[in-house]
């Protein structure tokens, strides 16, 4: 079974530029999560999708961050414009359904904003 796929693995941009991350969850997993991980910290949830519906986006900074999961499978997380403080690892995870506690993570996208 293929794991969670994320791209790109690394991204370097200048501040004020836009950036997008893509995630393909494990096949059959209805719930998809985006996490932010800063250096020396544990992952923190940004947004959680149940199929195509965002069921928890309370931690997503909506002034510059947006996400979509149009067909309930792949998802895209966008930052526009990026700020220096956005430099971090962005992790995508999936689980079979909401209430299935075990989440499986992708390798992450490491973002550096200069």
Name the helix (H) or strand (E) containing 45.
strand 44-50
Which residue's entry shows tokens 């995630």?
23
> Between 61 and 90, how does the x/- string for binding to other proteins read (CB under 8 A)?
------------------------------
Cα dist from 26 to 9, 40, 42, whole Å:
17, 27, 22
Options 82, 106, 111, 113; binder of other proteins; rule CB under 8 A: 106
Scanning 14-22, 61-69, 73-81, 91-99 for contacts with other proteins by CB under 8 A, the matching segment is 91-99
- 83: Cα within 13 Å, side-chain hemisphere: 5
- Residues contacting other proteins: total by CB under 8 A: 26
23-42 b/e (C-beta count within 10 Å ≥ 16 → b) = bbbbeebbbbbbbbbeeeee
> Between 16 and 35, how does the x/- string for binding to other proteins read (CB under 8 A)?
-----------------x--
> Between 40 and 59, how does the x/- string for binding to other proteins read (CB under 8 A)?
xxxxxx--x-------x---
> Of 26 and 81, which has the nearer Cβ to other proteins?
26
């Amino acid at each position: 079974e293929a794991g969670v796929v994320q791209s790109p693995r690394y991204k370097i941009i200048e501040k004020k530029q836009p950036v997008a991350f893509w995630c393909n969850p494990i096949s059959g997993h209805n719930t998809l999560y985006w996490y932010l991980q800063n250096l020396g910290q544990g992952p923190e949830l940004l947004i959680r999708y149940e199929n195509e519906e965002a069921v928890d986006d309370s931690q997503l900074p909506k002034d510059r961050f947006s996400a979509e999961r149009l067909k309930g499978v792949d998802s895209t997380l966008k930052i526009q414009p990026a700020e220096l403080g956005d430099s971090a690892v962005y992790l995508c995870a999936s689980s079979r359904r909401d209430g299935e506690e075990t989440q499986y993570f992708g390798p992450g996208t490491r973002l550096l904003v200069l």
